[in-house]
Amino acid sequence: MSKPETIDTKPVAAKRLPGPGRAAVSLTVLAPLMWLPQAGLAAHAIGLLADGAPVSAVLPLAAGFTLFGLLRAALDAVSGRLAFKAARAELSARRAAALTSLSARSPVDITRPSSGEAASALAEQSEMLTPWLSRYVPAKAKAMIVPFVVAAATLPFSWIAALALLITAPVIPLFMALVGMKAQKASEKQLARMSDVNSYLMDRLRGLRTIRTLGAVDATAKRLRHEAEDLKRRTMAVLRIAFLTSATLELFSALGVALTAVYIGFHLLGFIDIGTWGTKLSLSQGLFVLMIAPSFFEPLRELSAVWHDRAAGEAALKSLEKMTERGTDLPQGAGAFVNPLEDAVQVDNLTYTHPGRETPVLEGFNLTVKAGERIAISAPSGAGKSTLLSLLAGLATQDVGQVLLFGTSAADARDAGSIAWVGQNAHIFSGSMAANVALGRADAPVADALHVARLEAVAETHGKAPLGEGGRGLSGGEVVRLAIARAAANPWARLIIADEPTAHLDAATAELVTESLLELAKDRTLIVATHDAALLACMDRVVTLIAAPENAT
Amino acid sequence: MKALRTVLRLFLAEKRLMLALAFTLAALTGLAGVALLSLSGWFITATALAGLSSATALAFDVFAPSAGIRFLALFRTAGRYGERVISHDATLAVLAGMRELLFRSFARSRAARALERNPARLLFRLTLDVDALDGLYLRLIVPVGVALISALTALLALSFIDGATGIATGLFLIIGGFGVALMAAMRAEKQARLRAAALEALRSRVIDLVSGATDLLMAGRLGERRADVLAADSRLAEADDRLNRVETFAGFALAALAPMAGGILLVALAILVSRGTIGAPGAAFALLLVLAAAEPFTALKRVAVEAGRILAAAKRIAPQVEAEDDVVPPAPPPSDLAIRLENVTARHPGAARASLTAASLSIKQGETVALIGPSGAGKSTLLALIAHEIALDAGRLESLDASLLTQRAELFADTLAGNLRLAKPDATEDELWHVLTMAGLAETARALPDGLATWLGEGGAGLSGGERRRLSLARLLLHDAPILLLDEPTEALDQKTASDIMERLEAIKGQKTLLIATHAAREALIAERVFILVNGQFAGDYRRGDEGFDAAIATLRDA
């Protein structure tokens, strides 16, 4: 089984977070305190009944009891809403910040998070931020204040009852810490294990085709069951300990109520005289002390219920913060105009070193391409072909030298839509074939583009159905042609850059791709990196890069 | 509701007794809490009245009630602990069973094909749904049951004091509490569905933004796509907000139950006391009983939202669980044939156009056949058909058992031996080493730290691309299917590894029927027969030595 991810339990950055706001927190704390007047009114009413007071004397007390109860419900509702809104806004803000820095990074940057990492950090993981901020933080504030107020309210009637509560107060966290340390580990372990079984299920479902073809469905199902039951056995061993935390709290709150009741009962009978301030408690006073005793423990119980929100929330925050780290940025355009009369490409003394590497992949490179020329770049792998194309396309910034496209920077040419890109692994977006060509460009001539890429028949076959993830259901040739169609959907492109468009294709498909690439490049400038002899033969000129010695393979 | 029943069946397939026991304990524990508070209230009031004179004070039986109070306190703690242990034990067992059933459901052809096409999205959806369904017992059934039982207890106990008061209070709690919860659950379900859809959109748009950054940038659409992700988050935020509003409103209404019931009850009790029906201790008992019995209802606000989520998940999963397999394994062909197709028309699921039309062929047992043709000609469809992954539209297909080696070599998070034994669970170590040797992986395997017991990460992480392909080849060789279907077996491998793999395939020629779909001459060269597939129809069938055979091979890429 994979190693459970270790969760750093250091409290991260909680201070840097705007909490749910002072107002929300004060209302949260105020809400449970409404029980004090409620209990007082109810206890007083029972006292009046015992004294034989008329029904009319109870009426205002009953109304007050209800009103304070409704006030408490309203305070809870309002503070809950405020806390939620603040927490949710924080989540959106953090997501937006992560997206901004993700999309500012160059696709060439190898330290950029993978799409899977980014997706789980921004989607499901970051979801845990809201419960942490909206529930855990207020619950903690409640647990720190409410018990002391309850104890203080008990004190005027019985110092012994208040003392009993206050003695348990530090005892409870101590007990909880002892059991809780084990419980924390246990629940983390259990989470990791549970996700193990889930990832086992998902792993097997991902390879379902293989399992089916090997006739192993039954065996895998049984094995899955076995794994899950094994997990159950191991988990229960630790859960038994974990539940002791809540049992401790339960015990204290139950015993707190029971002992208070017994003490007050004996006191009222006159068997115990100590613990009050000299006078005997009245029935109402005794009842009041009893009724508020459970609310001493309630906030602690609430806090322990949302305890796990903290670890998950902190993990969410960490992964979101990782997404906002910066690496190699995309070059920014300066808004300069392209000049179609200038050379298509003018590269002077270009040097580029990959971040983290010592030796440059390109050094002192020069190249001039006239508008309308079709040139091939040929080089052994590792000689910097793809890097050169990326620099020309404005995907990264050179360290030294100058790159001019139609008299302006690569980034400006890119922003002006003057460059069209036919990459090696076109990403297939969720959507239909037509949507994958248009990519949301409202005025894109999709039909023409499909025609240039010889994709009309394929597009018709797939219809409006969304394409499979990662191009499942499309052949390698079709993916390349889709990239050509994407390029063709940009009528303003003056320069076509293509990276090994015919690699890994059969002869017939390669010919088709070459044909449509040449049609796309009509009246435009074409730069294509390739080894393919047939494609090379169609070019006006071949530029050969020599591998830098340490990159040669 | 039908969906919920299907899922409930899935959930309650076993361990019903344990679940029932846990439920009973949960209910008893809840009752102990109610009884503890109300008995304490009665005790204090009664002692106060008795304490007015020393004669009554001495006559008062303090021991039975105070022992009862202490017993209830301890019982509540012990009961709660026992309930948690038993219910988690049972739930984990149930979840184990549910995962097995889910796997079997998704292994049926229709669901399997959908998964094959969009694995990331569907697996993510399934993860969310399974997570929601996991809570069916602990987060829905138990709290609802506990609330119901404590309300019924209040109803019964109060009825002994005064029938009308008891029934009115009990019904007020039950109708008010469950009415609010039900309304909230129904509203939450829609929002939970929208929320799941928005989260899925957010996720896939982030993937598009990161993986497709270059394509988007060059099309000048990066900024718009980032805005699309933010739009998904706004939708998510809206659904979150609506859910929170539902929860807040339900929370307010449920929290209002106790003070309302308590206030009215106080007046009713005052009337009863003034009539002499009950005394003050009885009134204290009744009031605290109802307040404690209303307590579990406040927990229903989360339960209602959870119920909406569970219901939405059940609706998505149920159809998969109920769907039947739509592909029947083909019948074996007559005499010495391995595969026979007569006028077969087939399409990939969802495709508008058939990719095989009226295709006929027969292949003898032990033949090695190359299947060539431009991409999109229907080669993969033919292989999927013989591997009975898809159903045919028309015609007749007969085939022996066949297993397929796909281009994506699928390895699992398991040991090396575990990955191999998928093909033959009872294979001995000797058999494993034999197939590893045949696939050219024995030396690599021997050099691994734990040999056959070496753990391979997800997708076979830890092995190179070539080694992965060899391992899946070894697994295929271990499988006893008489036909091997190979879809571009050396695609994207370097020349040396590729020719080594082809040599090893050549070595088993004649022992099994091999059908190789290929674009590469190096793969087709081991064949003694070649089929040419063009636009879904066979355009040629040549044997080694025929003129057409060499011509057909010559059209292939030589890399």
Which region holds residue A39: left if phi is over 0, alpha if psi is between -120 and 50, else beta? alpha
Closest-CA residue of chain B to A75: B252
Quote the pLDDT of residue A7. Answer: 35
**Residues 368 to 427 of A: which have CB under 8 A from any B CB?**
393, 395, 414-415, 417, 419-421, 423, 426-427
Question: How do residues B240-268 score in pLDDT, each as one tens digit?
Answer: 999 999 999 999 999 999 999 999 999 99
Closest C-alpha among B116, B43, B133 to residue B318: B133
Tokens 């629940």 locate to A187
- Contact B241/A at CB under 8 A: yes
Using DSSP's 3-state secondary structure scheme, residue B41 falls into helix
Closest C-alpha among A70, A88, A84, A72 to residue A27: A72
Mutate: best of B103, B271, B383, partner A, most A CBs <10 A = B103
> Whole-prediction pTM value?
0.86
Query: What is the Cβ-side half-sphere exposure of residue B67, based on CA atoms within 13 angstroms?
Result: 4
How far apart, in Å, do the first and last CA atoms of chain A sit? 37
Contact B182, B171 (CB under 8 A): no
Using DSSP's 3-state secondary structure scheme, residue B545 falls into coil
Percentage of the residues of chain A whose pLDDT score is greater than 90:
42
Residue B34 has pLDDT above 50, yes or no: yes
- Contact A490/B at CB under 8 A: yes
Question: How do residues B325-364 score in pLDDT, each as one tens digit?
Answer: 778 888 888 888 999 999 999 887 666 678 888 889 899 9
Tokens 């404690």 locate to B292
**Domains of chain B by residue range:** 2-170+255-318, 337-554
Residue A33 has pLDDT above 70, yes or no: yes
- Contact A510/B at CB under 8 A: yes
Q: Across the interface, which of B226, B248, B279 has its CB nearest the CB of A77? A: B248
User: pLDDT higher for A20 or B222?
Assistant: B222
Closest C-alpha among B247, B196, B405, B153 to residue A207: B405
Cβ separation A265–B44 shorter than 8 A: yes
Question: How do residues B136-176 score in pLDDT, each as one tens digit?
Answer: 888 898 899 999 999 999 999 999 888 899 999 999 999 99
- Contact A509/B at CB under 8 A: yes
Cβ separation B240–A88 shorter than 8 A: yes
User: How many CB atoms are closer than 10 A to CB A254?
Assistant: 26
Question: How do residues B515-539 score in pLDDT, each as one tens digit?
Answer: 999 888 888 889 999 999 988 888 8
Closest-CA residue of chain B to A71: B256
Q: How confident is the model at residue A13 (pLDDT cuts 50, 70, 90)?
A: very low
Partner residues linked to B6 by β-bridges: none
Q: How confident is the model at residue A508 (pLDDT cuts 50, 70, 90)?
A: confident
**Residues 151 to 190 of B: which have CB under 8 A from any A CB?**
none
Cα separation values, A327 from A101, A104, A414, B526, Å: 9, 9, 21, 49
Query: What is the Cβ-side half-sphere exposure of residue B525, based on CA atoms within 13 angstroms?
Result: 14
Cβ separation B89–A477 shorter than 8 A: no
Cβ separation A506–B410 shorter than 8 A: no
Cα separation values, B506 from A259, B74, B369, B509, Å: 85, 76, 12, 5
Cα separation values, A303 from A9, A132, A249, Å: 17, 11, 11
Question: How do residues A259-274 score in pLDDT, each as one tens digit?
Answer: 888 888 889 888 887 7
Question: How do residues A344-395 score in pLDDT, each as one tens digit?
Answer: 999 999 999 887 778 888 888 999 999 999 999 988 766 788 889 999 999 9
Using DSSP's 3-state secondary structure scheme, residue B402 falls into strand
Using DSSP's 3-state secondary structure scheme, residue A389 falls into helix
Mean pLDDT of A178-204: 64
User: How many CB atoms are closer than 10 A to CB B56?
Assistant: 13
Percentage of the residues of chain B whose pLDDT score is greater than 70:
97
Task: Give the count of Cβ contacts less than 8 A between chain A and B.
Answer: 459
Quote the pLDDT of residue A11. Answer: 39
Closest C-alpha among A439, A428, A440, A438 to residue A466: A428
Closest C-alpha among B421, B449, B456, B448 to residue B435: B421
- Contact A76/B at CB under 8 A: yes
Write out the two tokens for A257. 């109520």
Write out the two tokens for A71. 């006030």
Quote the minimal CA–CA distance from B81 to chain A in Å.
Answer: 6
**Residues 464 to 503 of B: which have CB under 8 A from any A CB?**
472, 475-476, 479, 481, 491-492
Chain B residues whose CB is inside 8 A of the A115 CB are: 206-207, 210-211
Least confident of A34-48, A440-454, B102-116: B102-116
Quote the pLDDT of residue A552. Answer: 35
Contact B405, B487 (CB under 8 A): yes
- Stated as kind and residue range, the H or E segment containing B60 is none
Quote the pLDDT of residue B195. Answer: 95
Axis crossing angle, helix B163-211 with helix B300-322, rounded to the nearest 10: 60
Q: Is the dihedral of CA A76, A78, A83, A85 positive or negative?
A: positive
Contact A319, A125 (CB under 8 A): yes
- Contact B50/A at CB under 8 A: yes
Q: How confident is the model at residue A93 (pLDDT cuts 50, 70, 90)?
A: very high
CA distance B76 to B58: 30
CA distance A402 to A409: 8
- Contact B423/A at CB under 8 A: yes
Closest-CA residue of chain B to A221: B100
- Contact B463/A at CB under 8 A: no
Tokens 């069973």 locate to B97
Residues 6+ apart with CB under 8 A from B421: B427, B432, B478
User: How many CB atoms are closer than 10 A to CB B160?
Assistant: 10
Beta strand extents in B3-54 (DSSP E only) = none
Least confident of A432-441, A491-500, B4-13: B4-13
Q: How confident is the model at residue A549 (pLDDT cuts 50, 70, 90)?
A: very low
Amino acid at B267: V
Percentage of the residues of chain B whose pLDDT score is greater than 90:
38
Provide the CATH topology of domain A345-551: Rossmann fold (3.40.50)
Chain A residues whose CB is inside 8 A of the B206 CB are: 99, 115, 118-119, 122-123
Q: Across the interface, which of A395, A441, A508 has its CB nearest the CB of B374? A: A508
Closest-CA residue of chain B to A32: B255
User: pLDDT higher for B53 or A388?
Assistant: A388
DSSP labels, B303-357: HHHHHHHHHHHHHHHHHHHHPPP--PPPBPPSTTEEEEEEEEEE--TT-SS-SEE
Percentage of the residues of chain A whose pLDDT score is greater than 70:
90
Chain B residues whose CB is inside 8 A of the A122 CB are: 202-203, 206, 229
For chain A, how big is the Rg over CA atoms in Å? 36
CA distance A487 to A437: 8
Query: What is the Cβ-side half-sphere exposure of residue B24, based on CA atoms within 13 angstroms?
Result: 6
Mean pLDDT of B104-117: 83
**Burial (Cβ within 10 Å: 0-12, 13-18, ≥19) of residue A495:** buried
Provide φ and ψ at A527, rounded to 5°: -120, 120
Residues 6+ apart with CB under 8 A from B291: B37, B258, B262
User: How many CB atoms are closer than 10 A to CB A119?
Assistant: 24
In CATH, the architecture of B337-554 is: 3-Layer(aba) Sandwich (3.40)
| Mean pLDDT score across all residues of chain A | 85
Chain B residues whose CB is inside 8 A of the A405 CB are: none
Quote the minimal CA–CA distance from A227 to chain B in Å.
Answer: 8
Mean pLDDT of A438-449: 92
Residue A184 has pLDDT above 70, yes or no: no
- Could you tell me how many helices (H) and strands (E) chain A has, helices first? 19, 9
Quote the pLDDT of residue A2. Answer: 36
Chain A residues whose CB is inside 8 A of the B387 CB are: 213
Q: How confident is the model at residue A181 (pLDDT cuts 50, 70, 90)?
A: low
Quote the pLDDT of residue A178. Answer: 60
Q: How confident is the model at residue B303 (pLDDT cuts 50, 70, 90)?
A: very high
Contact A450, A484 (CB under 8 A): no
Using DSSP's 3-state secondary structure scheme, residue A499 falls into strand
Chain A residues whose CB is inside 8 A of the B214 CB are: 107, 395, 421, 423, 427
**Domains of chain A by residue range:** 20-147+309-330, 158-280, 345-551
